Structure 1
Amino acid sequence: MSRRQLAYAPTPYSYTPTSNLSATINLDEEVKLSTTSAERDLYESLAEVYSIIVTLDALERAYLKDSVTDAEYTETCNRLLKQYKSNLSDETVSKAFVDLETFKGAWDIECPRATERLRVGLPATVEHPSARPATQGSEANATLVVAATENFITLLDAIKVGMVEKDLLHPLLVDIIQAVNEVSDKDFDNKGKIVEWLITLNQMRAAEKLTEDQAREFSFDMNQAYNGFKTTLTRK
């Protein structure tokens, strides 16, 4: 028995719903992503991290275009970096976040400038300070020099007594880079090592510790940077 030929070619749009099917979704009903308060808190935290990354990328662009002052940029960047770290300090959020590249892939964002800033963990004005006012001249303010020196000594003493946790060393190192930049915007021998170690520590979890070999290398590099800093002060 031959099959009767259809009068038209079937298309994906030729489907006719049967009468025994009915809609089970209220289109006016709000769709909830979470069913518990814990899930809601997690999604809110991840949304905040997303917002921070996008905002930080926009801030970096504005800074490169001179659309914000150094002071405005530094203050806002520091605040965003702190908020980013604060959100990820929660173990549940950190586990869902995985890492920056995974998070960016999951949410389909690039934000290359924010990515670099989060990798460094410092505002560009701290990583690469601008020139100091000409009124300061070649003689650094004695108070600033003393503060920078004390910061170096504090860090080196901390390493000697075995304080090698990231959450202890990172703030001390930030104090050093900020202090030496207040004294002078010029480079000195091994100043780059300070930034390199800042980046290394920034990639570690708060409770992580430097290994014995890392601690020895860190101490050596910081001693070299301290000597380079002191040599700069004696130059005319």
Structure 2
Amino acid sequence: MTLVNLDEEIKLTTNNRERAQMDNMADLYSIIVVLEHLEMAYIRSAITHTQYTPECRQLIAQFKTASSLLGDVVPDLEKFMKEYNLDCPAAAKRIKIGVPATVEFGDGGASNEPSGHKSAKYIAETVQSYITVMDMLKLGMGAVDEIHPHLADLMQSLNNVRSLPADFEGRAKLREWLIKLNGMRASEELAADEKRQMEFDLESNYTAFRGWLDSQ
């Protein structure tokens, strides 16, 4: 019968590679937990949008970096959270779309500018954002790290136009594309049919946006 020494340290890893992997998984775990607390603090108005937004962007970027270091070890966020009993639905949703809530839904458009000036500025920004992304697609650009930031800017600009109807279809379609892109690696490229579909969606949404402007 073999006796077990209860005072003996149990090694979770046997080499430097395994130790680095374990450290990266611990980092991933802590990022998800911190992001969950941040999301709940914002939902409960415990922090302002100006405090929330940069912290959320940083945590999302840190999550992507930690995930890329783990590669195939953690291929799926939901499986990782289930395996380690992580109950963080708000963090999971934020990671899935890849942008702060202030970008997805708007931040109130706080500014010292008169409301008329703000509205004109945000409309101009939205038009420019639409044109920028559509021009990128027309030029054949389709890498995730090229398209995603501009698509996020478009979403934020669109949400800053406060008089735009809440059910404007462009928001839902942009959210779908952001989620799709965020689920891909930064170096991945959209397929030709995906670029064509995104261009069609954006042109349709831009036409609807211009139609709404003309009706005002």
Which of 5, 21, 24 is matched with 1:45 structurally? 24
2:131 — aligned with what?
153
Which of 172, 184, 190 is matched with 1:204 structurally? 184
CA distance in 1, matches of 2:2, 2:205: 74
CA contact (8 A) 1:130 1:185 kept: no
CA contact (8 A) 2:105 2:156 kept: no
What's the offset of the Cα at 1:139?
4.7
The answer on 1:168 being equivalent to 2:146 is yes
Which of 55, 63, 68 is matched with 1:84 structurally? 63
- Point out the more displaced range, 215-224 or 121-130: 121-130
Kindly provide the amino acid, as one letter, of the partner of residue 73 in structure 2. Answer: A
CA contact (8 A) 1:189 1:229 kept: no
What's the offset of the Cα at 1:172?
1.6
The answer on 1:113 being equivalent to 2:87 is no
CA distance in 2, matches of 1:22, 1:201: 54
Between the aligned residues of both structures, percent identity stands at: 35
Tell me how many residue pairs correspond in the alignment: 213
1:124 — aligned with what?
101
CA contact (8 A) 1:140 1:184 kept: no
Per-residue CA distance 1:129-178 (angstroms, 9 max, x = gap): 24435964245455544443332222111111221222221112112112
CA RMSD of aligned residues (A): 2.5
With structure 2 as the length reference, what TM-score do the two structures score? 0.85
CA contact (8 A) 1:77 1:123 kept: yes
- Point out the more displaced range, 110-119 or 206-215: 206-215
Which of 38, 41, 62 is matched with 1:62 structurally? 41
What's the offset of the Cα at 1:221?
0.9
What's the offset of the Cα at 1:31?
3.1
What's the offset of the Cα at 1:122?
1.6
Which structure's residues are more often helix, by fraction? 2
What are the within-5 Å matches in structure 2 for residues 92-111 of structure 1?
93-111=70-88
What's the offset of the Cα at 1:82?
0.8
Q: Secondary structure at the match of 1:33?
A: coil
The answer on 1:215 being equivalent to 2:195 is yes
CA contact (8 A) 1:52 1:84 kept: yes
Cα distance 1:128–1:158, how it changes in 2: closer, same or farther (>3 A)?
A: same
CA distance in 2, matches of 1:22, 1:103: 35
Cα distance 1:75–1:59, how it changes in 2: closer, same or farther (>3 A)?
A: same
* The structure with more radius of gyration: 1
